[in-house]
Amino acid sequence: MARISFEEQAKQNVNKLIDYAVKKLYLQEYDVVYVKNQLLDLFSLTEPYEGPIKDYELYAVLDQLSDYAVRKKMIDENGKLNFETKLMGMLMPAPSKTVEMFDDIAAYKGTEAACDFLFKLGEDSTYLRRPDLDKNLIWEHEAERGNIIVTINLAKPEKTPEQVRLAKLAKGGYPKCMLCAENLGWAGNAAKPARQTIRTIPFELDGEKWFMQYSPYQYFAQHCIAVSAEHRPMCVTSSTFRRMLDFVDMFPHYFIGSNAALPIVGGSILAHDHYQGGKKVLPVFARPARRTYVMRNLPEVSISIVDWYNSIIRIESKNRAQALEAVNSFRTAWDDYTDETANIICATSQDGERVQHNAITPIASKNERGEYQFNLILRNNRTDEAHPFGIFHPAVELHNIKQESIGIIEVMGLFILPGRLSEEAHAIRDILTGKTPLDFKALADETHPLHKHLTMIAQLATDNGTDCSEKKASDAVTAYINTACEKILDTTAVFKNTDEGQAAFDRFIHTVIK
């Protein structure tokens, strides 16, 4: 078969993109010629391909077109992903049209069907890059106080040194952050990804302008983000809870939660007020009550401590006003609560200024009985000489597994571990099977890629030897990671899962419900 020129291949791929957009991205017949001509102009092609369209795979088409753009010096290798996003953005319905379609579906079929539409559009447009997301390793660990889901994040690869260098050179403060509304249609650069394919849904929460989008990383089913239209710092107040209930009233099939607004116990973006949500699939939702309480002045509210690793107060009621009053009572009480016998100090002083340490990670949803449900996860970010990373943060010996802040997703039972752990775990398995000799002297060198795992390797080798089968080695490494995740969750508990810790938890509860 005769080989076609690169230009002819590009023409064919333009037609394939148009065909895909008609079938998957709602490109209307009257707009086909217009969009095709835009694509031809982008590639400096003088005329379209007139032959039949052969079978194709979208990501292969995009890869060939971005390679063509590199060959024609339209972009460099590091700009391929942003260029592919630009191509797909040219094929999609406009943001306003997407909102119109979402609202129509919500009006006739409900908001769950509308969310399904928006999510599928995200996948079909490559905003949610399914081939990359499917690279993530994921498993579920059964444990006494609740199952834990563990995922090793391979969908977000570490940047190459050249990409890091280019990101530092990319100047400008627009958009202000990765969550700002101004990301809609953003062309991207070396520091911030292109966002021509993102589509957002605007609404009001507690009388303020907010919008919803899907997280490109999809750590769990339909992982979404509700974002304030105003770029302002994270803050958990009484308004937070009203906004959350407005959200679950609109989207009862989703939960919504906020990271605590403090370092160490908060998320990675504290500069922009936002919440995270999605389908109610995270392990904490399946956990029963350990103990229940009654608030005398709020008879329609049920209070319980959740049988879980960290310290969670669950508030449930069909009465919205009483649910809000209860959750605010616990928030204000925890802000100022100190119990030095439990090593809990709400705030300290630095240079004459109050430094807040107590915080709450609130999660709102509707339970199977149709009641409003708040899960309030009590947090504290205080450090001391013995715990420089945080008294309720993973200890140094666990940092080889997870060192980053333990945010809302982890404390609900889904661990997002760094992609480096995949290759490192494979290398440790090779030591346990004997493929790689166990060399403690080499491992003790700080430049060794497995140096951070020295203690882990020593423990696994002692327990299992270095002549394991592949399965035994794999199971041993996985079990070690699972146990580490349990320990990390236990560490985040401000009231420990001991008799003394639970007695301290009861003392706090009774200061609020008395």
- Model confidence pLDDT, tens digit, residues 44-80: 999 999 999 999 999 999 999 999 999 999 999 999 9
pLDDT at 311 > cutoff 90:
yes
Per-residue confidence at 263, pLDDT binned at 50, 70, 90? confident
Buried b (16+ CB within 10 A) or exposed e, 445-475: eeeeebebbbebbeebbeebebebeeeebbe
Q: How far apart are CA 279 and CA 107, in angstroms?
A: 21
- Give CA 204 to chain center in angstroms: 23
Give the number of other CB atoms < 10 A from CB of residue 336: 10
The pTM score is 0.94
Helix/strand/coil for 93: coil
Answer whether 188's CB lies under 8 Å from 195's CB: yes
Cα torsion 428, 430, 431, 433 to 10°: value is 130
If we measure between CA atoms, which residue out of 421, 409, 145, 83 comes closest to residue 278?
409
CA distances from 501 to 313, 344, 382 (A): 14, 11, 18
pLDDT at 282: 96
- Give CA 486 to chain center in angstroms: 20
- Strands in 189-286 per DSSP E: 201-205, 208-214, 224-228, 254-257, 274-279
- Strands in 4-155 per DSSP E: 137-141, 148-152
pLDDT at 22: 98
Amino acid in position 342: A
Mean pLDDT of 245-270: 92
pLDDT at 342 > cutoff 70:
yes
pLDDT at 229 > cutoff 60:
yes
Mean pLDDT of 249-265: 94
pLDDT at 266 > cutoff 80:
no
- Give CA 121 to chain center in angstroms: 19
pLDDT at 91 > cutoff 90:
yes
Q: How far apart are CA 156 and CA 213, in angstroms?
A: 18
Instruction: Phi first, then psi: give them for residue 344, nearest 5 degrees.
Output: -105, 115
pLDDT at 320 > cutoff 70:
yes
Q: How far apart are CA 128 and CA 221, in angstroms?
A: 12
H/E stretch holding 360: strand 358-366
Percent of the chain whose pLDDT exceeds 70: 97
Q: How far apart are CA 241 and CA 9, in angstroms?
A: 55
Provide the token pair at 137: 């390793």
- Model confidence pLDDT, tens digit, residues 109-147: 999 999 999 999 999 999 999 999 999 999 999 998 999
Instruction: Phi first, then psi: give them for residue 77, nearest 5 degrees.
Output: -55, -35
- Model confidence pLDDT, tens digit, residues 155-181: 876 656 666 566 566 667 899 999 999
Amino acid in position 31: D
Helix/strand/coil for 38: helix
